[in-house]
Amino acid sequence: MNETKEPSTTIAVHEPHRRGRFHFVRVSVGLLILRSVWLGIQAHKQYAPLPAHSPAPSPVPSVPMKKQFMWEDLDLSSKVNCGYRKCFIPSISDNEVGYLIGKSIEVLEDMIKATEIALEIEREYGGAKHLYITDEHPFVVLMPEETRSRLNPKEFGFSPSVVVQQMKAANDPSLFFACSQINLGITKRQLPSFASAVVEKYELVDEFKRNIVKERKMLKMMLHDKPELGTDLQALISTKGELFFIDLGSHAGWNKGWKERWSKNMKMPDPKECDETFDAIDEALNERVL
């Protein structure tokens, strides 16, 4: 009787799996090769020289950040002057400068544009003055908790990131100059003491009057050319009658959306309102001289 061998199931069971595995490996290797070729082509496109007629790619905007800042140079011995979005703090080491601190990084773009506007009006109008420093640009830095606790924590929200820019310090005393009815009240409240400070040194009166006439003409020309600057015009006037523009970020943010929101909620400012401010200054000064 012939011995019948039991058919082997080893090959029958495992061979299809081997073929499938080998096929999977071949496909995977092929895909890796194709991906390498594709990446090589993309790299060549990215780093290959641009044709002469092709425009250069636009630079990617980056947030200017500093890892360190001398927070101990902030003079926090007296009340800090703060607006809606920024605070100005004098320097301890140099009484001619101070630091404008944006309460959040959202003001960075406006502060950059404000610096550009200041330099622009300085170039276009020789007599235009401001408190921006040409080589000092705003940057983002982390405010230490110790500094935040010495300031008003509510002023700076919950984010430790703030924007800092070194600025020139204004002469003391200075008069806050505004054209809009919103801020004109501040100017009128400061006028009596400021006018008295000018008159105390009688020799300053004539110089003040000469300079304020020049500044008035320059501002009128500027607002004729750039009426948008009158939306929230703010400046400081020295006891010599010189006008120093501040907070130009309000003008930098004057885009279409903001203009629409402003026009719906408030009366659009008239550049001629600056005449009212100048007239109030003349009147206060004349009352004390006479």
- In this structure, are strands 81-82 and 86-90 parallel, antiparallel, or unpaired? antiparallel
Convert the pLDDT of each residue in 193-227 to its tens digit.
Answer: 999 999 887 677 899 999 999 999 999 999 888 87
Nearest Cα neighbor of 220 from 185, 179, 260, 257 is 179
Convert the pLDDT of each residue in 65-89 to its tens digit.
Answer: 776 899 999 999 888 888 888 899 9
More confident residue, 153 or 230: 230
Using CA atoms, how far apart are residues 158 and 164, in angstroms rounded to an integer?
Answer: 17
* Helix/strand number for the chain, H first, E second: 8, 9
pLDDT at 267 over 80: no
Convert the pLDDT of each residue in 164-183 to its tens digit.
Answer: 999 999 988 999 998 887 78
Number of Cβ within a 10 Å radius of residue 166: 18
- Cβ contact 233:117 at 8 Å: no
pLDDT of residue 263: 53
The ranges assigned to domains in the chain are: 62-169, 170-290
Architecture category of domain 62-169 in CATH: 2-Layer Sandwich (3.30)
Nearest Cα neighbor of 241 from 218, 221, 215 is 215
Number of Cβ within a 10 Å radius of residue 56: 6
HSE (CB half, 13 Å, CA atoms) of 241?
A: 21
